[in-house]
């Protein structure tokens, strides 16, 4: 898909080098079509890494998409240059009067905290409330999925005995469900989290449907209210080296992390990781944009 982003966004050059179709503002203005408007609430500390990962994943449909990045106003990230935030991000206050076709809420490294203890929790819940009337479909990723399940449907989270880190096998149910259309019977997904969401509470809620899960990792894809809200408990957008970077970071901090599962050849961190999830990741984002955004969003926002 032609992704429409700011001409000066640093990751634009990387995307073009990877032969991903990126449309700059000038060319987009010359096309007489109504593009999808997708806003991304980027809660990850390494903003530019997440920008690149998500834009890669959103690049596989013929639909033109305008991307707007927003950040929290109540908390300022310490891992990205202020100039980058001021140039390429806006705040919720600046877009609250607008409507969007899609919203993506990313993960965040705060999962060991109670939701209400997170510094920007009130702002996040305000955005989720706003999205009910102003967004066609919201995609929640990892901690964003746990937060959305908790706030929207009362699904509690719990601490895992050990961090899920690695590439885990998952399975699909209900093959005709559009979100998993084109998926194989089993597929691989990057996971990187210390907590999980209660499967019992998800199953007990008639507004939620589990369409994919893993034997080890539990529910992976959950649909709320027929696609108004979609929850992805892993990180399908991760790059090949992301888990490697996280593992080595934790090693340097003396956390003694386990070697990520099913990631390095022969579980040897000195070898280059094996990429085994990109096709299904791309299919997931394609299905969300096509079936839960493009097919149901009004032409006039």
Q: How many other C-beta atoms lie within 10 A of the C-beta of residue 109?
A: 17
**Rounded to 5°, angle at Cα 134 from 129 and 137:** 85
Residue 3 three-state SS: strand
Please choose, from the candidates 252, 286, 259, 165, the residue with its C-alpha nearest in 3D space to the C-alpha of residue 217.
165
CA distances, 72 to each of 91, 163, 194 (Å): 6, 27, 23
Tokens 């690695």 belong to residue? 166
Determine which helix (DSSP H) or strand (DSSP E) holds 285, and give its type and residue range: helix 278-287
* Cβ-proximal residues to 94 (8 Å cutoff; 6+ apart), any chain: 70
Catalytic residue among 51, 111, 213, 237: 237
Spot the catalytic one: 48, 123, 142, 280.
Answer: 142
Cα end-to-end span (Å), the chain: 21
- Contact indicator for 77, 140 with CB cutoff of 8 Å: no
* Residue in 51, 170, 209, 235 annotated catalytic: 235
Cα–Cα distance for residue pair 291/284, rounded to 1 Å: 11
Is 84 among the catalytic positions?
A: no
237 is catalytic: yes
> Is residue 295 within 8 Å of 199, Cβ to Cβ?
no
User: Catalytic amino acids?
Assistant: 142, 235, 237
């Amino acid at each position: 898909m032609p992704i429409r982003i700011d001409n000066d966004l640093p990751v634009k050059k990387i995307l073009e080098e990877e032969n991903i179709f990126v449309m700059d503002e000038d060319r987009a203005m010359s096309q007489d079509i109504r593009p999808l408007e997708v806003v991304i609430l980027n809660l990850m500390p390494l903003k530019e890494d997440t920008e690149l990962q998500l834009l890669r994943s959103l690049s596989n449909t013929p639909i033109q998409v305008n991307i707007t990045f927003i950040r929290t106003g109540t908390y300022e990230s310490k891992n990205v240059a202020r100039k980058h935030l001021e140039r390429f991000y806006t705040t919720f206050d600046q877009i609250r009067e607008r409507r969007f076709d899609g919203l993506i809420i990313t993960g965040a490294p705060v999962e060991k905290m109670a939701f209400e203890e997170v510094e920007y929790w009130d702002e996040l819940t305000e955005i989720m409330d706003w999205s009910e009337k102003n967004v066609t479909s919201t995609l929640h990723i990892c901690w964003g999925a746990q937060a959305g399940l908790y706030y929207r449907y009362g699904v509690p989270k719990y601490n895992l005995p050990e961090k899920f880190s690695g590439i885990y096998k998952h399975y699909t149910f209900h093959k005709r469900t559009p979100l998993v259309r084109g998926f194989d019977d089993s597929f691989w997904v990057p996971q990187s989290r210390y907590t999980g969401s209660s499967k019992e509470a998800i199953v007990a809620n008639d507004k939620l449907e589990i369409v994919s899960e893993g034997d080890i990792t539990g529910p992976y894809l959950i649909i709320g209210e027929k696609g108004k809200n979609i929850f992805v408990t892993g990180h399908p957008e991760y790059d090949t080296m992301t888990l490697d970077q996280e593992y080595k970071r934790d090693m340097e901090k003396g956390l003694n992390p386990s070697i990520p599962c099913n990631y390095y050849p022969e579980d040897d961190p000195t070898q280059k990781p094996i990429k085994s999830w990109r096709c299904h990741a791309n299919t997931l984002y394609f299905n969300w944009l096509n079936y839960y955004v493009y097919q149901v969003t009004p032409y006039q926002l």
